[in-house]
Amino acid sequence: MDSGTLRILVVDDDADACNILSHVIAHLGHSAECIQDSVEALPRLLREHFDVVLLDLVMPGLSGFDLLRATHAGQERPAAVIAVSSYHEFRHQAAEQGFHAFVDKPVEIGKLRPLLDKLIPSA
């Protein structure tokens, strides 16, 4: 991957949301992978490095808040984690718990692009 491409993991239990976000991320020139099961996402997040993780906040098994706590605890270079939710009341809680940003569902490309652009490592 070149220095302008981010490796992004989307964790969302909604298959349609995963597909849409993957297409949006690819359209923006980045690499996207999706996991629909938050419990299966945890070991992957602990052993692999992603530049950005887009986490749905409300999922069965582990919530996005649970995943953030579990993965940031022992990582040297934690990924930038963006909360993705249709529950606007979680915006403040997401900021308090260390999410880099909060994006409303359905995700608009115009709102996601500037967030990702800020995270691209300089060459």
**Tens digits of residue pLDDT in 74-98:** 666 678 999 999 999 999 999 999 9
Range scoring the smallest mean pLDDT among 21-30, 71-80, 112-121 = 71-80
In this predicted structure, what is the pLDDT of residue 73? 72
Band the pLDDT of 40: cuts 50, 70, 90.
very high
In this model, does residue 33 exceed pLDDT 90? Answer: yes
Q: What average pLDDT does the structure give for the chain?
A: 91
What span, in angstroms and rounded, lies between the C-alpha atoms of 55 and 3? 23
Under 8 Å between Cβ of 27 and 113: no
In this model, does residue 123 exceed pLDDT 50? Answer: no
- Helix, strand, coil tally for the chain in percent (to 5): 40, 20, 35
User: Global pTM?
Assistant: 0.92
What span, in angstroms and rounded, lies between the C-alpha atoms of 34 and 13? 10
Band the pLDDT of 122: cuts 50, 70, 90.
low
**Tens digits of residue pLDDT in 8-18:** 999 999 999 99
